[in-house]
């Protein structure tokens, strides 16, 4: 038989797995369940690069290992197939997003399959499939028809709220949400309400509700963007300006779950950094809400939330968010232009930018004054973009003596700074400590922090000017997007009131439209749909759901993907419950991961799921960084003269000259030796001569002076091998390099420079797995990606390292096929050294996979193969268990060898993980360092079972004392079992 041929073996086994549905999971099993999930990908047109499969390989190793350990493993894959990139492509080309999405998914499936992942493809889901998003819409309707009862601390169907209205009106109802948005009414009034009035009264209680909300509006894209999609005031896609705009938007009341989302983090096996990001994003704080009256505006009141009510006497000005509803009313005529200019500037900044910018001091005085409700002193009312309309009340009481941002603001605008404790030192900065006793604070002078806080809250509540309150930084999630390629929101409007589409009428399928841009009147793209009305009468909602809608519950659909009657069957959900291991990027900490937890808690409240959390263990894989290849342009100064008597322009294209990296460094540093000078300048002279020959009327001369800095250019890493550039390929790659001159090293090689940076098409450092699989095989790629380093860390990619892993697999193959010949495994009994090598590997692989330390497992397997090769081992008792150890990492090769070992084709997944036996690691003998008075003189070997008395007797019987004791008598023998012997003389 010929040598190891991965390409032939791998295609064979991939076809076998597909034909035989080898990795299909059962929803009923006596085995314990284990659910492994990857964050499913958005299928971009570029396909996968080698950085993408890192987490997929790790999850596949765990899946295959857990099958060997006797688990019923669910390991599915699907596609997050709605999204803005496909829509933007559709706008540019006129091609329907569904077509490009289908093509991209086909590419992804081919690439994922070529890597040998043990997915249960029968469970594939796509968020853009109407059969899938029917249930996304169904969950939305459940949210729309639910409210959050603070008395029971869970979501309930609206019917329980309506029953309360019928019995007692709105009196006594404690519901999550903004109380000021709701109206008071009696049960008698409720009974007299029309249908429209009832729906309007109910709407502010819903968990899915519509409200005027400040959003990131991008006119260039014609849609609302999330904070994650805005960078420095521009859209991440396309770089279009983004502004803050008040628009009617659908929201989900995630704030109702803030406290439960916090508490649940303590039950999760997640990275501490991710949990901390969620805690900070939720931002629980305990404080007080205080009402400030406004001078000359009897009806206007400014409510502020503060966690330091004890400093209220030091509040010397108020700051409103530029979007605050009272800004227009409170702005005096003299300040109108200044305030409006400031508001316009704020609209061009995202909330994230405003929160992150702690250095810029800006604001505008409204011209109005509030009244400190305790001191009675007037305080100026300002607007500033560091205050957000959606957080708290959209207003803050500024205490410059206790808050650094307020301090800097007050210094900048020359506003008062009043110390409030006798311990504050505020000459150079604010002092936020709670030390000392209060001063300048009439009601609480002389009190400590705890005493003062308690007394103030009592006073505020007794006088109706404030109350104690727990607040959260998190805000309700904006749910609408003014796009086409997303799930239609199943809402229609009758007499201006929102109604939910009947569940029997789901899915509400995306209609066909002629263009994918907003309408000429500014409506979302769905406004172009002709005759698109509910039951032919009522207008549909024209927004679609955000990208995270479908990904918030997809893990549940995998459990029972073909169920037409329920989003997930009860039996399947109760069996799988939740994801045991979830792998994905940490960038989703405050997006997808938080929204999924929210949706899961909601479904739990309705009794639709059994587990408390969706993802029990989370691992964030690090990023594989690209290894960019650079070439360096020779940029000397140039003299170019036109000969007399020639008429016409003197312009001519001077050929580019590129210099090999090592040579370039010496040219730049002027450290060329004589041979290199001759080689370099003679080539430059040839360029001059060739140019002057082709342009007879011109004279070109290069000087020996250079430009300001080296001019580096990225080249495609796929035409570079071991940092050596294929010069012919680079000429074909870019037409402007066709006539360029490449000055190589003296040995004729052209060496590229190297830079490690993020993989990107613009840097030409993207390496396709297709190329590497064709060259080295999928098993080698899988092993190499794991070998690069710890899963969670960032790692630079270097294709050159692939050859080493490929060589390891060839060496392993030769244990079964000596000299690449026929299969030659024997049934001869294994020697102790061979069994020792095997069982060290069994223990190491098990320990490392359980700790998700995949790189050290690869190292251990390499060591084992080297040891067995040195022992010339070809014995079944060793090599059969070794195949099982290898199978999670290199499944194709393992399947091939498993069959050759006499097992049924494709059955290695049902094999048992080899049993570790400690006795094979027990040494027969132990080497003891033997010392005289603590100084080691010799190493002697004793039986592993020898007692201290045995060892002492053996040393006395030997010539050791005669040679090293210098004739002195041994007074004492100290034997440390298994470690050393010390003779005291």
- Separation CA 300–CA 970 (nearest Å): 99
Spatial contact of 116 and 779, defined as CB atoms under 8 Å apart: yes
Instruction: Map residue 534 onto helix, strand or coil.
Output: strand
φ/ψ region of 906 (left if φ > 0, alpha if ψ in -120 to 50, else beta) reads: left
φ/ψ region of 462 (left if φ > 0, alpha if ψ in -120 to 50, else beta) reads: alpha
- Separation CA 453–CA 637 (nearest Å): 73
- Separation CA 621–CA 600 (nearest Å): 24
Q: How many CB atoms lie within 10 A of CB 358?
A: 10
* Helices assigned H by DSSP within 632-789: 661-668, 674-694, 727-733, 769-776, 778-787
Strand order in the sheet with 223-225: 223-225, 208-218, 243-252, 477-478
Residue 211, phi then psi, degrees to nearest 5: -160, 150
Task: List binding-site positions for ATP.
Answer: 761
Q: How many CB atoms lie within 10 A of CB 118?
A: 19
Q: How many CB atoms lie within 10 A of CB 607?
A: 7
Sign of CA pseudo-dihedral 184, 190, 193, 198: positive
Count Cβ atoms within 10 A of the Cβ of residue 520 and give its class: 0-12 exposed, 13-18 middle, 19 or more buried.
exposed
Q: 935 - beta bridge partners? A: 932
- Separation CA 216–CA 868 (nearest Å): 63
Task: List binding-site positions.
Answer: 761
φ/ψ region of 743 (left if φ > 0, alpha if ψ in -120 to 50, else beta) reads: beta
Cis peptide preceding 507, ω within 30 of 0 = yes
* Structure letter (DSSP) for residue 18: H
Instruction: Map residue 282 onto helix, strand or coil.
Output: helix
Q: What does the longest C-alpha to C-alpha distance in the chain come to?
A: 117
- How do 533-534 and 538-540 pair as beta strands? antiparallel
């Amino acid at each position: 038989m010929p040598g190891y041929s991965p390409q032939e073996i791998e295609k064979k086994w991939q076809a076998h797995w597909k034909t035989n549905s080898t990795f299909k999971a059962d929803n009923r099993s006596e085995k314990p369940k284990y659910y492994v999930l990857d964050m499913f990908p958005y299928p971009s047109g570029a396909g996968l690069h080698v950085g993408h499969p890192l987490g997929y390989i790790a999850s596949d190793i765990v899946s295959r290992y857990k099958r060997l350990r006797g688990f019923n493993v669910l390991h599915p894959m699907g596609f997050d197939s709605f999204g803005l990139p496909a829509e933007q492509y559709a706008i540019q080309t006129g091609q329907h997003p569904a077509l490009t999405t289908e093509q991209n998914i086909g590419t992804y499936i081919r690439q994922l399959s070529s890597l040998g992942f043990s997915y249960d493809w029968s469970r594939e889901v796509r968020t853009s499939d109407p059969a899938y998003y029917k249930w996304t819409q169904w969950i939305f309707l459940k949210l729309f028809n639910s409210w959050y009862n603070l008395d029971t601390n869970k979501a309930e169907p609206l019917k329980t709220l309506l029953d309360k209205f019928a019995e007692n009106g709105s009196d006594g109802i404690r519901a999550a949400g903004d109380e000021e948005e709701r109206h008071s009414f009696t049960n008698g009034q409720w009974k007299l309400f029309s249908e429209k009035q009832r729906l309007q009264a109910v709407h502010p209680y819903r968990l899915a509700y519509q409200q005027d909300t400040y959003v990131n509006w991008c006119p260039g894209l014609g849609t609302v963007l999330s904070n994650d999609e805005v960078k420095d005031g521009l859209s991440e896609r396309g770089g279009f300006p983004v502004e803050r705009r008040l628009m009617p938007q659908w929201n989900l009341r995630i704030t109702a779950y803030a406290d439960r989302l916090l508490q649940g983090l303590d039950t999760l096996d997640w990275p501490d950094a991710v949990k901390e990001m969620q805690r900070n994003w939720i931002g629980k704080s305990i404080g007080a809400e205080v009402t400030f009256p406004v001078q000359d505006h009897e009806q206007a009141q400014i409510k502020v939330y503060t966690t330091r009510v004890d400093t209220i006497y030091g509040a010397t000005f108020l700051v409103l968010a530029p979007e605050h509803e009272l800004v227009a009313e409170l702005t005096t005529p003299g300040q109108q232009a200044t305030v409006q200019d400031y508001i316009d500037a704020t609209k061009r900044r995202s909330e994230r930018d405003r929160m992150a910018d702690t250095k810029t001091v800006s604001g505008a005085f409204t011209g109005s004054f509030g009244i400190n409700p305790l001191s009675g002193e007037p305080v100026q009312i300002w607007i500033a973009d560091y205050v957000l309309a959606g957080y708290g009340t959209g207003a803050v009481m500024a205490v410059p003596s206790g808050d650094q941002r307020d301090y800097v603001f007050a210094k900048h605008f020359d506003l008062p700074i009043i110390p409030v404790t006798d311990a504050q030192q505020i000459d150079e900065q604010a002092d936020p400590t709670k030390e000392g006793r209060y001063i300048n604070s009439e009601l609480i002078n002389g009190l400590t922090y705890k005493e003062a806080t308690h007394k103030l809250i009592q006073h505020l509540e007794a006088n109706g000017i404030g109350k104690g309150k727990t607040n959260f930084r998190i805000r309700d999630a904006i749910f609408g997007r003014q796009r086409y390629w997303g799930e239609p929101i199943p809402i229609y409007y009758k007499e201006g009131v929102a109604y939910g589409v009947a569940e029997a009428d789901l899915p509400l399928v995306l209609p066909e439209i002629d263009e994918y841009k907003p309408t000429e009147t500014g409506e979302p793209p769905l406004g172009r749909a002709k005759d698109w009305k509910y039951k032919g009468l009522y207008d549909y909602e024209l927004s679609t759901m955000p990208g995270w809608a479908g990904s918030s519950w997809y893990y549940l659909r995998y459990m029972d993907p073909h169920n037409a009657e329920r989003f997930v069957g009860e039996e399947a959900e109760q069996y799988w419950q939740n994801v045991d291991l979830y792998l994905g990027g940490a960038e989703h900490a405050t997006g997808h991961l938080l929204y999924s937890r929210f949706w899961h808690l909601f479904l739990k409240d309705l009794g639709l799921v059994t587990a408390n959390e969706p993802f029990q263990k989370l691992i964030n894989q690090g990023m594989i960084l690209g290894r960019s290849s650079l070439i360096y342009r020779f940029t000397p100064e140039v003299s170019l003269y036109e000969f007399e008597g020639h008429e016409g322009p003197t312009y001519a294209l001077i050929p580019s000259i590129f210099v090999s990296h090592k040579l370039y460094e010496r040219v730049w540093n002027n450290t060329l030796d004589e041979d290199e000078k001759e080689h370099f300048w003679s080539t430059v002279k040839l360029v001059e001569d060739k140019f002057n020959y082709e342009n007879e009327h011109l004279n070109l001369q290069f000087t020996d002076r250079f430009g300001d800095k080296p001019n580096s250019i990225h080249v495609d890493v796929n035409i570079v091998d071991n940092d050596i550039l294929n010069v012919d390929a680079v000429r074909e790659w870019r037409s402007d390099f066709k006539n360029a001159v490449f000055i190589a090293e003296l040995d004729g090689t052209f060496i590229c420079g190297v830079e490690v940076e993020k993989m990107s098409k613009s840097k030409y450092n993207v390496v396709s797995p297709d190329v590497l699989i064709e060259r080295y095989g999928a098993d080698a790629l899988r092993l190499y990606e794991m070998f690069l380093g710890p899963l969670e860390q960032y790692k630079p990619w270097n294709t050159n390292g692939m050859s080493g892993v490929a060589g390891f697999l060839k060496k392993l193959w030769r244990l079964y096929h000596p000299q690449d010949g026929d299969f030659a495994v024997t049934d001869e009994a294994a020697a102790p050294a061979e069994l020792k090598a095997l069982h060290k590997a069994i223990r190491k692989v098990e320990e490392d996979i359980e700790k998700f330390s995949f790189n050290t497992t690869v190292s251990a397997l390499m060591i084992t193969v080297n040891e067995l090769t040195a022992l010339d081992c070809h014995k079944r008792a060793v090599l059969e268990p070794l195949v099982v150890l290898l199978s999670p990492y290199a499944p194709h090769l393992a399947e091939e060898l498993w069959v050759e070992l006499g097992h049924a084709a494709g059955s290695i997944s049902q094999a048992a993980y080899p049993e570790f036996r400690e006795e094979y690691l027990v040494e027969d003998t132990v080497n003891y360092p033997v010392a005289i008075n603590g100084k080691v003189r010799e190493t002697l070997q004793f039986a592993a079972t020898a007692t201290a008395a045995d060892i002492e007797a053996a040393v006395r019987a030997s010539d050791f004392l005669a040679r090293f004791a210098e004739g002195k008598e041994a007074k004492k023998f100290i034997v440390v079992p298994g470690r050393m012997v010390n003779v005291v003389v």
